[in-house]
C-alpha cells in the first residue's frame, strides 16, 4: 500500500491526519509542500488545488482530513 500525505507545518488538519495514520500503524510518506516546490506542483496536478492536507492512497486522492474517505481507501 502506498500512502502519501502532502502537508505544511502550519496546517492543523495535517497534524490530525498524521496522528490518525500513525495511531493505526499506517506507514506514509509526508511531503512538506511549503519547502518542496516539485511536490507542490505534483499535489496541484493530482488534486487540482493547493490546499492541504491532500492524501494519496494508492492513487486515490483525498482532499482534507476525511476519515470516512480514508477508511474506505485504506480497506480496498
pLDDT digits (tens, 9 = 90+) for 29-38: 999 999 999 9
Q: What pLDDT, on the 0 to 100 scale, is given for residue 19?
A: 98
Torsion of CA 24, 44, 68, 3, to 10 degrees: -30
Inform me whether the pLDDT recorded for 72 exceeds 90: yes
Residue ranges of domains in the chain, CATH in brackets: 3-74 (3.40.30.10)
Element at 6 (helix H, strand E): strand 3-7
Amino acid at each position: 500500500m502506498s500512502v502519501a500525505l502532502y502537508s505544511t507545518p502550519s496546517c492543523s488538519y495535517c497534524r490530525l491526519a498524521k496522528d490518525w495514520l500513525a495511531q493505526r500503524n499506517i506507514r506514509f510518506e509526508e511531503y512538506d509542500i511549503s519547502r518542496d516546490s516539485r511536490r507542490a506542483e505534483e499535489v496541484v496536478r493530482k488534486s487540482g488545488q493547493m490546499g492541504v492536507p491532500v492524501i494519496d492512497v494508492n492513487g486515490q486522492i483525498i482532499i482534507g482530513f476525511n476519515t470516512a474517505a480514508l477508511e474506505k481507501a485504506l480497506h480496498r
